[in-house]
Amino acid sequence: MNSGPLITGPMGTVGPTTTSAERLAELIGADTLHAPMYASLASGIQGLVRDGRLGVGVRLPAERELAAALGVSRVTVSAAYGRLREAGWADARQGSGTWTQLPATSGVVAAWVPGGERDGTLDLSYAAPPGPPEVADAYAQALTELPRHLGGHGYTPLGLLALRTRIADRYTARGLPTTPEQVLVTCGAGGAVSAALRAVLDAGDRLVVEHPVWPNALDVARELRARLVPVSRDLDSGSGFVTAVHRAARQTSARALYVVPDFSNPTGATLSEGDRRSLVISMQQQEVTVVADEALADLALDDQESLTPLAAHGRPGTVLSAGSLSKAVWAGVRIGWLRAEPDVIARTAAAASRDHGALSLVDQLAACALLDVLDVVVARRRVQLRAQRDALVAALGEHLPEWGVTVPPGGQSLWCRLPAGVSSSVLVDTAEQLGLRLATGSRFGAGHAFDDMLRLPFTAPVPDLLRAVELLVAASSACAGRSPSTPRRHLV
């Protein structure tokens, strides 16, 4: 279980690293600096920290060296470092230079509060598919079973045993032996992620997060006053991501890692079996608890073999796993689960029960019925999503060829690079006025990273997706020339 290649090489380095002046100058690009030079340099470094290309806890080069590499004066670099320190993006440690950090209020948006329903608006602010007919059948079945439960008090603090057993059996079938005592029923995968982060993190703890990242995880971490350590992840990052997480965790003495192993939202990135093993072993060695959000695990779209849950690669307790019916079936069911060791389950259940008592029995009965037909629903869902993904990619290629679109192997969204100079927040604002609701790219970043990116879910039927592309073409021409200082909408 926990055998496999140990990670070796540069990650063996203990303690924080520096970045060389030449490397930093290359990342910033001397020719992008403009007057006032010190402010431009500070914002360049800040941007690199925001999007994870420059890690948190990295020592910046000596002022003189960076000045020489960039061809600017030392005073400029000194003023830029000063500005970063003032704004909380860097910290000076006596005698040992200036280190990158994220400010306590680094602009992570406080809450994911989507707009209300509006007639006529095509809403792609959520990546969540419409429900299949099996949902109504499952609720009909639940109602026929309900009378058997009416004699009891109706509270199920851990969740209905029949449901926990089905969830445990599914993990066992996927290569991770699980008993019902290791399962807590939660309000969606979101409830499970939130419960797991609360169980693991104390104020001030460092949490390594993939970047871009599902924003609710950031919101919870922020509420817990955890310090974020973003590590860049995209479709091509592969084992490089595992290496970077290992290093980031070591350099920051992180307490936990939040990761979406399968078809991450928004990028669609997936960890191979080998990368899963290396990641879990590395975290286990460093005593970092992994919160694995497996909400999208069923959504392989290219006939790939399904991969084992992350927790199968580590000792009990290393990985807390979250899952739900939201993406494979329908988010309206609101049933998810946390898989962890029984002591964590008991503690978490106690906290959840204080918060909201327990979940609806009818929803849990319906979830049992849905789990019984899950394979059929998932097979159909994959066919739909694949057709919708391909139609959206083709329409973007035809009508917005200057957009950078990479086809993900699964999941539910495209993570698109916008053409130079186009701001995602401006585009989203303009699209909203035309009747298309989307989330801004920066919603998926710590700080204000990713204003040059846009998430496009392919969860809607093809005609809606084609309409969305038409509206995006209109929005792109309408917003040409508007500046990103326009107020942002943060919908997801």
Ligand X SMILES: Cc1ncc(COP(=O)(O)O)c(C=O)c1O
Residues lying near ligand X in the complex (CB under 6 A) are found at 127, 188-190, 214, 260, 265, 293, 295, 324, 326, 331, 336
Query: Is-contact 277 239, C-beta < 8 A?
Result: no
CB of 141 to ligand X, least distance (A): 21
Note the Cα 328 to chain centre separation in Å.
Answer: 17
Distance of CA 109 to the CA centre of its chain: 14
User: Closest distance between ligand X and the C-beta of residue 333, in Å?
Assistant: 9
Least Å distance, CB 188 to ligand X, is 2
In whole angstroms, give the CA distance from residue 462 to residue 125.
16
Quickly tell me which residue has 């920290």 as its tokens. 49
Q: Rg of the Cα trace of the chain?
A: 23
CB of 293 to ligand X, least distance (A): 5
The 8-class DSSP code of residue 460 comes to S
> Would you say 283 or 331 has its CB closer to ligand X?
331
In the complex with ligand X, the residue whose CB is nearer, 98 or 326, is: 326
Q: Which is nearer to ligand X, 27 or 378 (CB)?
A: 378
Grouping H, G, I as helix, E, B as strand and the rest as coil, residue 321 is strand
Output the smallest distance, CB 388 to ligand X, in A: 16
28/192 with CB nearer ligand X: 192
Return the C-alpha torsion angle 89, 93, 97, 99, nearest 10. Answer: -30
Q: How far is the CB of 10 from ligand X (least distance, A)?
A: 29
- Beta strands 206-211 and 227-232 are parallel
Cβ distance to ligand X smaller for residue 21 or 325: 325
d(CA 458, CA 412): 6
Report in angstroms how near the CB of residue 308 gets to ligand X at its nearest.
Answer: 18
Pair of tokens at residue 485 = 């200082």
- Closer CB to ligand X, residue 7 or residue 193? 193
User: Minimum distance from CB of 6 to ligand X (Å)?
Assistant: 29
Of 63 and 363, nearer to ligand X (C-beta) is 363
Closer to ligand X by Cβ: residue 186 or 318: 186
Amino acid letter, 366: A
Under 8 Å between Cβ of 204 and 225: yes
Contact 397, 249 (CB under 8 A): no
Asked if the bond preceding 266 is cis, omega within 30° of 0, the reply is: yes
> Cβ closer to ligand X: 142 or 292?
292
* Shortest separation between residue 326's beta carbon and ligand X, angstroms: 3
Neighbours of 299 (CB within 10 A): 23
In contact, 348 and 354? CB cutoff 8 Å: no
CB under 8 A, 24+ apart: contacts of 233-237: 233/52, 233/264, 233/267, 233/269, 234/267, 234/269, 234/415, 235/267, 235/268, 235/269, 235/406, 235/408, 235/415, 237/269
For ligand X, the closer of residues 123 and 293 by Cβ is 293
Q: Which of 301, 313, 250, 243 is nearest to 276 (CA)?
A: 313
Q: What are phi and psi of 360, to 5 degrees?
A: -65, 130
Q: In the complex, what is the shortest distance from the CB of residue 100 to ligand X, in angstroms, rounded to a whole number?
A: 27
Strand 256-259, strand 289-293: pairing: parallel
DSSP state of 183: E
- Helix ranges (H only) for 204-311 are 215-223, 238-252, 273-285
Q: Provide, rounded to whole angstroms, the least separation between the CB of residue 243 and ligand X.
A: 22
Complex with ligand X: residue 229 or 297, whichever CB lies closer: 297
Residue with the CB atom nearest ligand X in the bound state: 188
Tell me how far apart the alpha carbons of residues 134 and 156 are, in angstroms, rounded to a whole number: 24
By C-beta, is 57 or 129 nearer to ligand X?
Answer: 129
- Sequence length of the chain is 492
Least distance in angstroms from the C-beta of 76 to ligand X: 41
